[in-house]
């Protein structure tokens, strides 16, 4: 049983928890973390979600577990668990916080040039990982194979990269 902390609309903990999968009470929210890892070639590390979890393409993301108050640390945990990518907090850059009906998505980005074949995948969550260009991701999106919300998050990251003039 996975417990999630409930937050108010200002991302402040309420002290209440909910079991993952249960309906989130009105006015309450849960935090989700997501990261776009990019490399020197302008590509993004994309995962194909396991068949049993939906069989679509997305970036690495996950729920913040109950008791995790440091969202960057939750993101680092998700990366290690799902794709075997270790990093430090200082490598993560918070891009933005998106608010949806019942959840916050804390979006991070990180630069890495790790070869995809060197990563150790959590097979019940992730079928494969690969480096992809924006154009390849956009094509998957048009085909309905890439998570639509994650595509919007990619656009948020690219806006941030352009503002900062990062490679």
Give the predicted TM-score (pTM) of the model. Answer: 0.93
User: Would the pLDDT of 164 be above 90?
Assistant: no
Q: Which residues contact 156 (CB under 8 A, 6 or more apart)?
A: 95, 96, 98, 107
Q: What is the mean pLDDT of the chain?
A: 93
- Dump pLDDT digits (tens) for 8-44: 999 999 999 999 999 999 999 999 999 999 999 999 9
Structural domains in the chain, sorted by start: 32-92+111-164 (3.90.79.10)
User: Would the pLDDT of 66 be above 90?
Assistant: yes
User: Would the pLDDT of 140 be above 70?
Assistant: yes
Predicted local confidence at residue 127, as pLDDT: 96
Cα separation, 139 vs 151, whole angstroms: 11
| Helix then strand then coil, % of the chain, to nearest 5 | 30, 35, 35
Residue 125: beta bridge partners?
Answer: none
């Amino acid at each position: 049983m996975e417990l999630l902390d409930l937050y108010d609309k200002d991302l402040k903990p309420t002290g209440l928890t909910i079991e993952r999968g249960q309906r989130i009470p009105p006015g309450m929210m849960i935090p989700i973390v997501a990261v776009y890892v990019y490399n020197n070639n302008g590509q993004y590390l994309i995962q194909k979600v396991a068949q049993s979890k939906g069989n679509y393409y997305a970036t690495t993301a996950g729920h913040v577990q109950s008791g995790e108050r440091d969202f960057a640390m939750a993101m680092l945990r998700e990366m290690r668990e799902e794709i075997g990518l270790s990093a430090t907090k200082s490598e993560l850059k918070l891009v933005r916080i998106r608010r949806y009906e019942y959840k916050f998505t804390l979006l991070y980005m990180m630069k890495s040039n790790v070869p995809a074949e060197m990563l150790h995948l959590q097979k019940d969550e992730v079928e494969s990982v690969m480096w992809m260009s924006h154009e390849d991701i956009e094509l998957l999106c048009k085909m309905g194979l890439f998570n639509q919300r994650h595509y919007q998050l990619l656009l948020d990251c690219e806006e941030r990269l352009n503002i900062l003039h990062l490679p």
